[in-house]
């Protein structure tokens, strides 16, 4: 089956990114763009990010996860440590994050390495979640085969009864990761495909180099 998409066209003309607009710290500039995405009210789930890892089979894999905290050290998300992505991160902590906000014609690409957050931080976030989400984390042995949808629904119903008057404790296999960035690339769509691109690199794991403009 063939479908020709050659006539798909879009002109990017909503904004621009100049050297004088940038900040010395790329994390601070990311926070600025993130705030603008939030405040625009035209970006659905501005915290949705594509996480790319290298799997145990040696192939890259990308999936959308939700950013849950921006810290001075980097970006925090939560998942099942025994899942496919958790196993991939255990073997190879190098990752790439991508935020795409098409309504603003902006993209941010971040390279970094992950480490697990503390058990206390994971527990605090887990306990802040709705009861259904906490039970869902127990029901779902993420990435493992299941016979059908009913199997999951029945397990959830069983747990709802079991934990009706009990505290829902965080499973040991569930928790957070901190992505510690060493590279940021900011992309702003511009007319005629002459987009604005700037990349920051971390020097000696200590300080950020001056941003460099890249050809689009």
**Angle, vertex CA 105, rays to CA 31 and CA 59, nearest 5:** 80
d(CA 199, CA 25): 12
Quick one: which H or E segment has residue 123? helix 119-128
Pairwise CA distance, residues 134 & 169, whole Å: 8
Helix (H, G, I), strand (E, B) or coil at 171: coil
Q: SS3 of 149, please?
A: helix
Q: How far apart are CA 68 and CA 66, in angstroms?
A: 6
Give, as one character, the DSSP assignment of residue 97.
E
Q: Catalogue the active-site residues.
A: 193
- Nearest of 169, 166, 176, 215 to residue 78 by alpha carbon: 176
């Amino acid at each position: 089956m063939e479908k020709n998409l050659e006539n798909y066209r879009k002109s990017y003309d909503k904004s621009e990114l100049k050297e004088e607009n940038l900040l010395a710290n790329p994390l601070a500039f990311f926070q600025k763009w993130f705030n603008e995405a939030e405040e625009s009210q035209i970006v659905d789930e501005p915290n949705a990010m594509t996480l790319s890892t290298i799997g145990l089979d040696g192939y890259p894999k990308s999936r959308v996860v939700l950013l849950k905290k921006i810290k001075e050290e980097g970006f925090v998300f939560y998942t099942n440590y025994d899942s496919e992505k958790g196993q991939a991160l255990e073997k190879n902590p190098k990752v790439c994050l991508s935020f795409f906000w098409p309504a603003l014609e902006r993209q941010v690409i971040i390279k970094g390495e992950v480490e697990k957050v503390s058990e206390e931080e994971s527990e605090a976030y887990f306990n802040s979640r709705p009861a259904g989400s906490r039970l869902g984390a127990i029901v779902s042995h993420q990435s493992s085969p299941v016979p059908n949808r009913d199997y999951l629904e029945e397990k959830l119903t069983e747990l709802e009864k079991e934990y009706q008057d009990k505290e829902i404790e965080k499973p040991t296999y569930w928790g957070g990761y901190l992505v510690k960035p060493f590279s940021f690339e900011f992309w702003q769509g511009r007319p005629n495909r002459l987009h604005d691109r700037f990349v920051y690199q971390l020097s000696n794991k200590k300080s950020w180099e001056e941003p460099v403009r890249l050809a689009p």
